[in-house]
Amino acid sequence: MGNVLTDEKIPNNVNLSGDKRLQRALEAWQPAFIDWWKQMGPLGWQERDIYLRTAVSVETDGWAHFDHVKMPDYRWGIFLEPKQEGRTHGFGDLYGQPVWDEVPGEFRNLMKRLIVTQGDTEPASVEQQRDLGATAPSLYDLRNLFQVNVEEGRHLWAMVYLLHTYFGRDGREEAEELLARRSGDADKPRILGAFNEPTSHWLSFFMFTMFTDRDGKYQLSALAESGFDPLARTCRFMLTEEAHHMFVGESGIQRVVKRSCELMKQDPNGDPRTLGGIDLPTVQKYANLWYSLSLDLFGGEVSSNAADAFAAGIKGRYKEDRYDEHKLVGSHFAMDVLEAGKVVHKDIPMRNALNEVLRTEYIKDCQRGVDRWNKTIKDEGVDFEIKLPSPKFHRQIGMWSTVQFTPDGQMIDAETFAKRRGEWLPTAEDETFIKSLMHPVYERGKFASWIAPPGKGINGLPGDFEYVRL
Ligand code: BYC
Ligand code: FE
Ligand code: FE
């Protein structure tokens, strides 16, 4: 693999110093990135020492270095997995032919759109999480928030590297735009829906990292199969970091429900709210919200964009290797569709159904996480089950966005939905209540009332380690 040059301005394993033009272009973008980080990254805490993991190579053992560092000094680098000699297209019309090291002209726009869309989510999430440092439930959680934030920053670097290297002037302009859009801004919003939603407290943050970062896992996995080799190699390494983000979300909610159960047993009326906890039905509502927003990120159920990207060899399926057939001509996917206002189960040409195929894999993965939450609840002796709502519930993208469903998948009219919405999704009162619990806890080894301590600390360290130096 390429040597890692960590002493350069931009740490990298792509021999950046061997391409002076590219190096200069990226070094010119770097101060704009730092300005964006200071302006839109975590509010406060920038001058504190945070115990962070930094990617320093792509070796499976020892790719990460842990140390206290001030966030603006974080060494955001460019890391691609080593090139596999002789790699061929793993799917699509070009199956079996050598992969590309450059972008073919006819696919340039499609490829650029996907890379820009991926890149846009990374800074968007940092913007969404900007204020959370003021209300962290512990130093451990505060550190995990910042870890996620700096790595999303690195994921932006990964996409900007591709834009600068392979898309010339267009790519440089897109890289600037990535720093100009703003999450939730009416005039220049981020591209995808969920990335304009507020994550204004830690319950939403944990749901976001559970469900929305998991979309990242599936989208990156599909792009990791790409016949555009530099994209595949960069996404493969991004997935290494992604695992921790989903851990933060899944274990975060697991600790919330554990605490809820403990408090339910302490309160004479079984209400954790009176003791500063979050009741399980409210946890369910936030799961309904973030799961449905994240399902939207897979795009339309039937999509010619998805078919085109697959045919071209640009975007594959999750773990393409597991499938026997990689061209998908003449095969079908049986799925629910909306026809004349009714749900019908139907065969759809496979290439057009690929967004739904990927979403189906994602749903299974979400269910595995929810099962682990339910095991925690059961182990606490509490009779409650968190359920993923129907994929048709509360959708804003795709065919189900034009009709309304209950969480258990019954079609209802818009008026009934509006009337019952507050039973299923967080209300203004729920938001106010959750925010009322969000008091910072910055004493080493202490945790807020609404969350249990983690089972173990970071990098083998104890839970009361000084993850953030005050
Ligand atoms: N919001 O054929 P369709 C992550 C647009 S998360 C707004 O149905 P397609 C992360 C679509 O662009 C992973 N618009 O969908 C997580 C298209 O517009 P045009 C992010 C949407 O194109 C946490 C039209 O609707 N990565 O990394 O097959 C923290 C019809 O599109 C939405 C990617 O998404 C939406 N939700 O698929 C940090 C990978 N959905 O062309 C990071 C790259 C669709 O008519 N992106 N539209 O103007 C893609 O692969 C695809 O663009 C999508 C959509 C899967 C998003
Ligand atoms: Fe990311
Ligand atoms: Fe992530």
Residue 22 zone, left/alpha/beta (φ > 0; ψ -120 to 50; rest): alpha
| Per-residue confidence band for 61, with pLDDT thresholds at 50, 70 and 90 | confident
Residue 12 within any structural domain of the chain: no
453-457 average pLDDT score: 95
The protein residue whose alpha carbon is closest to atom 48 in ligand 1 is 113
Distance (Å) from CA 151 to ligand 2 centroid: 7
Distance (Å) from CA 240 to ligand 3 centroid: 10
Q: Distance between CA atoms of 414 and 82, rounded to whole angstroms?
A: 52
Structural tokens at position 437? 């619990």
What backbone phi and psi angles, to 5 degrees, belong to 349?
-50, 130
Residue 2 within any structural domain of the chain: no
Res 5: pLDDT: 55
Structural tokens at position 200? 């204004």
127-138 average pLDDT score: 98
The amino acid at residue 111 is M
**Closest atom of ligand 1 to CA, residue 297:** 36
User: Radius of gyration over alpha carbons of the chain, in Å?
Assistant: 23
198-206 average pLDDT score: 97
**Closest atom of ligand 1 to CA, residue 358:** 55
The protein residue whose alpha carbon is closest to atom 23 in ligand 1 is 213
39-43 average pLDDT score: 97
158-169 average pLDDT score: 98
CB 229 less than 6 A from any atom of ligand 1:
no
Residue 76 zone, left/alpha/beta (φ > 0; ψ -120 to 50; rest): beta
Average pLDDT over the chain reads: 96
Alpha helices in 312-427, H assignment, sequence order:
354-379, 414-424
Burial 174-211 (b: 16+ CB within 10 A, else e): bbeebbebbbeeeeebbbbebbbbebbbbbbbbbbbbb
The protein residue whose alpha carbon is closest to atom 6 in ligand 1 is 216
What is the DSSP-derived secondary structure letter of residue 46? T
Collect all residues with Cβ–Cβ distance below 8 Å to 330 and sequence separation of at least 6.
none
By residue range, what is the domain housing residue 184?
Answer: 20-469
Count of positions (residues) in the chain: 470
Res 3: pLDDT: 54
Residue 458 within any structural domain of the chain: yes
Rounded (10°) CA dihedral 205, 207, 210, 212? -80
**Closest atom of ligand 1 to CA, residue 306:** 28
Share of the chain above pLDDT 70, in %: 99
The amino acid at residue 295 is L
Q: Distance between CA atoms of 387 and 210, rounded to whole angstroms?
A: 14
Residue 15 within any structural domain of the chain: no
Asked if residue 384 has pLDDT above 70, the reply is yes
CB 296 less than 6 A from any atom of ligand 1:
yes
Residue 10 within any structural domain of the chain: no
Q: From the CA of 215, which ligand is nearest?
A: 1
Check which CATH number belongs to the domain holding 443 and give it: 1.10.620.20
CB 219 less than 6 A from any atom of ligand 1:
yes
CB 133 less than 6 A from any atom of ligand 1:
no
91-96 average pLDDT score: 98
Q: To test the ligand 1 pocket, which listed residue (118, 192, 220, 351) has its Cβ within 8 A of the most ligand atoms?
A: 192
Residue 459 zone, left/alpha/beta (φ > 0; ψ -120 to 50; rest): left
Asked if residue 236 has pLDDT above 90, the reply is yes
Share of the chain above pLDDT 90, in %: 97
CB 117 less than 6 A from any atom of ligand 1:
yes
| Residues 467/51, Cβ–Cβ less than 8 Å | yes
63-67 average pLDDT score: 94
Structural domains counted in the chain: 1
Res 60: pLDDT: 83
Distance (Å) from CA 294 to ligand 3 centroid: 13
The protein residue whose alpha carbon is closest to atom 1 in ligand 1 is 192
CB 401 less than 6 A from any atom of ligand 1:
no
Residue 1 within any structural domain of the chain: no
373-388 average pLDDT score: 98
Distance (Å) from CA 263 to ligand 2 centroid: 35
342-357 average pLDDT score: 98
| Per-residue confidence band for 18, with pLDDT thresholds at 50, 70 and 90 | very high
Q: Indicate the burial class of 321 (C-beta count within 10 angstroms; 0-12, 13-18, 19 or more).
A: exposed
Residue 459 within any structural domain of the chain: yes
340-359 average pLDDT score: 98
Distance (Å) from CA 283 to ligand 1 centroid: 27
Q: Report helix, strand or coil for 309.
A: helix
Collect all residues with Cβ–Cβ distance below 8 Å to 359 and sequence separation of at least 6.
295, 298, 301, 391
CB 212 less than 6 A from any atom of ligand 1:
yes
Residue 362 within any structural domain of the chain: yes
| Per-residue confidence band for 1, with pLDDT thresholds at 50, 70 and 90 | very low
Q: Report helix, strand or coil for 431.
A: helix
